[in-house]
Structure 1
């Protein structure tokens, strides 16, 4: 039978996050003239990650983190071929948590970075210069882990497709074939969506640094 597994907000999040991450990676490699766009894509990632964290609590059944906790027993069951649940399998769950963690770290650390020439993140004024230097270094170094994780994600999609398991289609239309009777997902209504969007908007506002007082200009020298 075919059931709706992935709700519309989750599917929108998935593709918007893919677009925002791709935009951030492309613009950072286009030179300093594109750095402001890189920062905008980073803010978008902050908002999207915040939305997903909330939706992982108030969203529909298979969007909730509690529904795909990759426990050792769950991983062992999947490896033995006994996993039959319609949502994320345990290895997919590990991928989800890794991506949310890495993308979240990159986006948040980018708020505190500076190239000491043409760009300073919106929250650099809120922390010490030592922390800015540390986060700037980690932000640059972690970029390569991001490429690796994205590569593994694409590779897994190809491998699963060769095995006859479609991952891209269900993330577009939301439906999935299951070989057993399972209840339709529940939850994730309009109120939950409004709450998630509101918290995501608040996260973007906090991340853009507009709440940080602008320091007064340096006094003119007395001659």
Structure 2
């Protein structure tokens, strides 16, 4: 029988499962890589691959937000304007409301990032297949910039939250553990789901690389054939 995972010595309990943490860092790395390679034709394959990876990660997070562990579910942390405002006021007074999982303000940023990531990936695909013309490319760039701004806001919020709660929230997203009552602990880290997620991403990257190599090889052979005919 599974029991909630807690560390009585320091009062930290397992709050965020492995899939949530792996998703978080894969999303951050994929967006950073896609942003850095956006203007380079040499790195176009990497840019496109990371863009599609973003789309897949968002799809996974939506599903996991419905069927995942307690604090991974949207029903646990997505709140309305009144709750967000109350949390922000408590933060301003220096006595922030405790939340074992994501706080209401952080939840707003998370939902915004998921929406922007999905929209950015969708417009990137449309631009990649020449669907929609120049306005799609401009929209894609605008959405990517908006996502970058929200990422900066999110990071600032994490730093402010870490100071206000006197807890390293970045470390918590690595270990999954936060200072919270034992009743808030989840029963399992679901590491096998995280392993499957990493395997799926790695498999997709390998497929993209292999497909690009096959296309390049076929193009080179066609060029040699044309030279021979000439």
TM-score when normalising by structure 1: 0.72
8 Å contact kept, 2:84–2:104:
yes
Equivalent residue runs for 1:20-59 within 5 Å: 20-29=30-39, 31-59=40-68
Moved over 4 A (4+): 186-191
For residues 56 and 101 of structure 1, the distance between their equivalents in structure 2, rounded to whole angstroms, comes to: 14
Contact 1:68 1:87 in 2 (8 A): yes
> What does 1:53-72 align with in structure 2 at a 5 Å threshold?
53-72=62-81
Where in structure 1 are there 5+ consecutive unaligned residues?
114-120, 211-223
Q: 1:181 to 1:74 in 2, by over 3 A?
A: farther
Contact 1:69-1:90 within 8 A present in 2 as well: yes
Conserved 8 A contact 1:61-1:67: yes
Conserved in 1, the CA contact under 8 Å of 2:113 and 2:150?
yes
Query: Is the partner of 1:182 in helix, strand or coil?
Result: helix
Aligned counterparts of 1:2 and 1:189: Cα–Cα separation in 2:
18
**Superposed, which structure 2 residues align to 1:159-178 within 5 Å?**
159-163=160-164, 164-178=166-180
Which is richer in helix?
2
TM-score (norm 2): 0.70
Partner of 2:147: 146
Aligned length: 185
Give the superposition deviation at 1:80: 4.2
Secondary structure in 2 matching 1:176: strand
Deviations 1:166-187 (A, max 9, x none): 2101100000002x45242258
RMSD of aligned alpha carbons: 2.7
- Does the aligned pair in 1 maintain the 2:162–2:169 contact within 8 Å? yes
* Residues 100 and 184, structure 2, Cα contact 8 Å, conserved in 1: no
Corresponding residue of 1:106 = 120
Displacement of 1:188? 7.8
Q: For residues 13-65 of structure 1, give each alpha carbon's deviation from its aligned partner in whole angstroms, at most 9, with x where no partner exists.
A: 11111111111011114x22111211011111111111111111111000001
Q: CA deviation at 1:108?
A: 1.6
Match of 1:97 among 107, 111, 136: 111
Equivalent-residue separation in structure 1 for 2:85 and 2:106 (angstroms):
14
SS at match of 2:183: coil
Q: CA 1:161/1:16 → structure 2, altered by over 3 Å: closer, same or farther?
A: same
1:117-165 deviation line (CA, Å, top 9, x unaligned): xxxx1x44xxxx4x34432221022222122112212222332333323
